Amino acid sequence: MDEECSEVIFGPSRDSLYVVIPLTVLYVIIFLTGSTGNVSTCIVIAKNKSMHTATNYYLFSLAISDQLLLLTGVPQEIYFFWSRYPYIFGSNFCFVRGLFNETSSNATVLIITAFTVERYLAICHPFLSHTMSNLSRAIKLIIIIWLVSISLAIPQVLPLKVVGKCPMCVMQDPIINYNFELSTLLFFVMPMTVITVLYILIGVKLKASNTVEKRISVNNRVIKRSSRKVIKMLVAVVVTFFICWAPFHIQRLYAIYNTAIPTKETRDTYMQIYGIITYISGTLFYTSATINPILYNIMSAKFRDAFKETFASCCFRNSHKLKLKRSMSVVSKSLTRCHDSSDSGSHDNSVQSVTLTINKNYFDSSTCLGEKLKKANIYQDATTPMLSNFHR
């Protein structure tokens, strides 16, 4: 195998540690932050009924596709940083990994586009949006998006096979001619155009509506500030989409249009350029799955409130149970001490006394236990529901 996988033929199996180690650390950070954001998004939307809207269903699906992208892509990318060849995972994994990765990337782009259309209708055509934007319609559209995504991914990944004496997962004869060009058109050029045009129309609509509101409102600064924030958000979405996805498609097109390499010098130059493009495009490609939860969820005040409510209630519920358990432990110890200081003949009745009077008598300040509870300062913890302060 070592002779068949010669570095003379295939080049170095990995780059310098000065490149590999920083990339590994960067990808681990991307994976952890992206997973945290996407999983948190799913939990918050699932647990809060107020978040069960058509818009948030799109965002829930976006979080699923982004998380799938991270799970199927980042671990193997990290492995490839350290060992480009031979490919040890087999043909089935080569195909399945490619299918999930391609499907999730397709779904991410289509969901962002559908979400943009939803925003456009809500702002520019509110009456039409009111009749069209319902949960059942959103669910049907999301299902269609996933079906289209996997249907268009299958022809892309069917040619993936593990070939050669030095096994590598590579693409053989494509099923569809110009499949990468078609993918670039369908999943970058067209969505980018739609997103840009619709967000420009949304920005124009917001500016026009703010001009009307200024005439009847004395608080012009607040209106102007909020309008600027929304427009900045729209610009950020468009710029982020372009920056994260353009290098990915450039890398693909560069690979297929530079197959004929006449000389060794040309090949070396090509490999250097291709390596740089691959690292940049891969990093930005997976970074999009980390940025999306921030752009579409965390920057929303409503989502932040729901996030705090969800995780605060969960944490304080557990904290309340723990404090109550500790309080009961203190009660039990106090009862034992009170009993030890009393007549020894009453030992058999003490347990019954705890069972029958625990809801009332042991809080009586005139008893030994009452005094100990006061000193332990557990009246409030044992009697006051802690969660009452966290329900809106």
One-letter-per-residue 3-state SS of 2-17 = CCCCCHHHHCCCCCCH
CB atoms within 10 A of CB 104: 25
- How many helices, marked H, and strands, marked E, lie in the chain? 14, 2
pLDDT for the residue 2: 53
pLDDT at 63: 93
Burial classification of residue 63, based on how many CB atoms lie within 10 Å of its CB (0-12 exposed, 13-18 middle, 19 or more buried): buried
Query: Residue 14 and residue 20: Cα distance in Å, rounded?
Result: 8
Can you name the residues that pair with 168 across neighbouring β-strands? 163
Radius of gyration over every alpha carbon of the chain, rounded to an integer in angstroms: 30
Residue type, 4: E
Residue 229 structure tokens: 């924030």
294-303, Cβ contacts within 8 angstroms, sequence gap of 24 or more: 294/37, 295/233, 295/236, 295/237, 295/240, 296/59, 296/62, 296/115, 297/37, 297/41, 297/44, 297/59, 297/63, 298/37, 299/233, 302/51, 303/41, 303/44, 303/51
The pair of three-digit structure tokens given for residue 257, joined into one six-digit string: 């249009």
Q: Looking at 65-150, which runs of residues are DSSP E strands?
A: none
pLDDT value at residue 268: 72
- All structural domains of the chain: 7-299 (1.20.1070.10), 324-390 (no CATH)
> Which of 237, 280, 293 has its CA nearest to residue 32?
293
Q: What is the rounded CA–CA span in Å between residue 274 and residue 280? A: 10
The per-residue pLDDT for 107 is 95
**Helix H or strand E encompassing 169:** strand 168-171
**Average pLDDT for consecutive 10-residue bins of the chain (392 residues)?**
62 80 94 93 88 88 94 91 84 90 94 91 80 81 95 89 81 76 92 93 82 56 64 83 92 78 69 86 93 80 81 62 52 50 46 39 40 40 32 34
Q: Are 61 and 106 in contact (CB under 8 A)?
A: no
Contact 311, 267 (CB under 8 A): no
Here the tokens at position 29 are 């950070």
